[in-house]
Amino acid sequence: MFSICSTCGTQFAQSVEPPERCPICDDVRQYVPAAGQSWTTLEKLQRTHRNSFKRIEPALFGIGMTPEFAIGQRALLIRSPGGNVLWDCLSLIDESTIDLLNGLGGVAAIAISHPHYYTTMVEWSHAFGHVPVYLHAADREHVCRHDAVIRFWDGDTFGLHDGMTLVRCGGHFAGGAVLHWPRGADGQGALLTGDILQVTMDRRYVSFMRSYPNLIPLSRPAVESIVQALDPFRYDRIYGAWWDRHIESDARAVVHRSLVRYIEALELPEPDRR
């Protein structure tokens, strides 16, 4: 069987018994629940969950699991003339999802921001004809199910088709990446960021963390490096990792304003305790 961690949603290589530990959850950026590690399989998820779909803009669709599972992110499908791209991934793939996405033109490539969203990426690739799955090489050690469909890219950027570009930002993970989609936001450009840049609850800022569940911040140089990596790109909108966590306009200014706010918070003087 191919076990899936119930806490992070990662699928592991085939084995007779589930793994003893999940290295993704053992890492400081994630966690093992107080009740201990638990496991499921894709077949079990197909009986208890379904995927929901939402058109976000004319060529962009969101896909999310219902009820929520593991980390709870939703994936994004970009429809593009040179082939559709799936950004980030979910643990559940089923016949309904395959049929719907094939009706939208299928999937030509999969790209994933960081290891927390690798999930069942190999299953997704195989379902659409063994399409390539693009991961940054700096996160190679976190892959729990290896397969020939995985293509590791290196360096600071990697070009896909139709002008789309994967940009290594680092931060949350060494290979943490975002996708620049120049046709997004009515041609003004959009970033698909996962939680490499986390859209805040008020939708007016983004923020940056090494660990979200364990509340570990990033350093000033790490956050400055993220913003610098995005400076060459034109974008007006940001799509984060969860439903409706979007910066709808003026996103480039929002990112720079968020950098200033983050640095100011890091450098606040010690409170007067007298």
pLDDT digits (tens, 9 = 90+) for 52-88: 999 999 999 999 999 999 999 999 999 999 999 999 9
- 40 in a structural domain: no
- 271 in a structural domain: no
- 20 in a structural domain: yes
- 62 in a structural domain: yes
Check whether 274 has a pLDDT greater than 70.
Answer: no
State the Cα–Cα distance between residues 225 and 252, nearest whole angstrom. 15
- 37 in a structural domain: no
State the Cα–Cα distance between residues 217 and 233, nearest whole angstrom. 25
By the 8 A CB rule, do 27 and 107 touch? no
pTM: 0.96
CATH code of the domain covering residue 197: 3.60.15.10
- 274 in a structural domain: no
Q: Within 10 A of 244 (CB to CB), how many other CB atoms are there? A: 12
- 170 in a structural domain: yes
Check whether 137 has a pLDDT greater than 80.
Answer: yes
The domain of 135 spans 3-32+51-266
Percent over 70 (pLDDT), the chain: 98
pLDDT grade, residue 268 (50/70/90)? confident
Q: For the chain, how many structural domains are there in total?
A: 1
Nearest in space to 13 (alpha carbons), one of 24, 2, 26: 2
**197 Cβ contact list (under 8 Å, min separation 6):** 169, 178, 191, 206, 207, 208, 226, 238, 240, 255
State the Cα–Cα distance between residues 178 and 191, nearest whole angstrom. 7
| Amino acid symbol at 223 | V
Q: pLDDT by residue (tens digit) across 161-177? A: 999 999 999 999 999 99
Q: Phi and psi dihedrals of 184, rounded to 5? A: -70, 165
- 208 in a structural domain: yes
